[in-house]
Copies of this chain bind each other. A is one copy, B any other.
Amino acid sequence: MEIKVLKNIMHANQQLAEENRKFFKERNIVAVNVMASPGAGKTSTILKVIEALRDKVNICVVEGDIASSIDAEKIDKLGISVVQINTGGGCHLDANMIRTVADDLKLEENSILFIENVGNLVCPSSFDLGEGIKLVIASVPEGHDKPFKYTSMFQEADVIILNKMDLMPYIDFDRDSFYKGIRALNETVPVFEISCKTGEGLPAFVEWLGNKVK
């Protein structure tokens, strides 16, 4: 019985996700589902992209967290339209949550919608939100073995960021192994090495993302 119920939930989520996807596509809204471990730099990356692109394209943000509104406050300070979703213990966002808050955002046509998922390298990969781009952020201090352990996340990614490159000198991180892990799962996914602290590598990612709105 448990399996049946789970299937129903997943099926209902998928239907809502397709509706969201249609909604975004009709308005040329590039919805980016941002997924990562806690503290890998989801909010930092979003803040950096806002800084670089806000004069060229409308950007809105959905902030997913179990508790707190720390990240949403950072976005709000920049005068960017942001909605906080607190899952109240839940380990991922789902398509219905996105549908529910979409009306509260100042979403324009030809814009970017960042959806920052709950910090979790496991569960969010199973729930389609209707996004156009799945962005997975890994970070150098987490270590190079993450693609081998959290396979689903890296397999599903449309784009991968390796953040905190500024810490590379202090950490035993095997870049070859990291890329080997990714390529075994996902042959063509673009990978951007960046540092939100120094700004290193960000222009290339910003250009890549900016081109998706055109």
Q: Hey, which bits of chain A sit against chain B, CB under 8 A? A: 1-2, 5, 9, 37-39, 65-68, 70, 89, 91, 118-123, 126, 139, 141-143, 145-146, 148-152, 164, 166-167, 170-171
CA distance A119 to B109 in the complex (A): 38
Which of chain B's residues has its CB closest to A141's CB? B141
Instruction: Give how many copies assemble into the complex.
Output: 2
Residues of B with C-beta under 8 A to A5: 1-2, 5
CA distance A80 to B146 in the complex (A): 24
A-B pairs with lowest CB-CB distance, top 8: A39-B142, A141-B141, A91-B122, A37-B38, A39-B143, A68-B148, A37-B37, A38-B121
Residues of B with C-beta under 8 A to A126: 89
**20 A-B interface contacts by CB (under 8 A):** A1-B5, A37-B142, A38-B121, A39-B142, A39-B146, A66-B152, A70-B149, A91-B120, A91-B122, A119-B149, A119-B150, A120-B120, A120-B121, A120-B122, A141-B141, A141-B167, A166-B170, A167-B167, A167-B170, A167-B171
Interface centre among A118, A122, A142, A145 (most CB of B within 10 A): A122
CA distance A146 to B70 in the complex (A): 10
Residues of B with C-beta under 8 A to A37: 37-39, 119, 121, 142
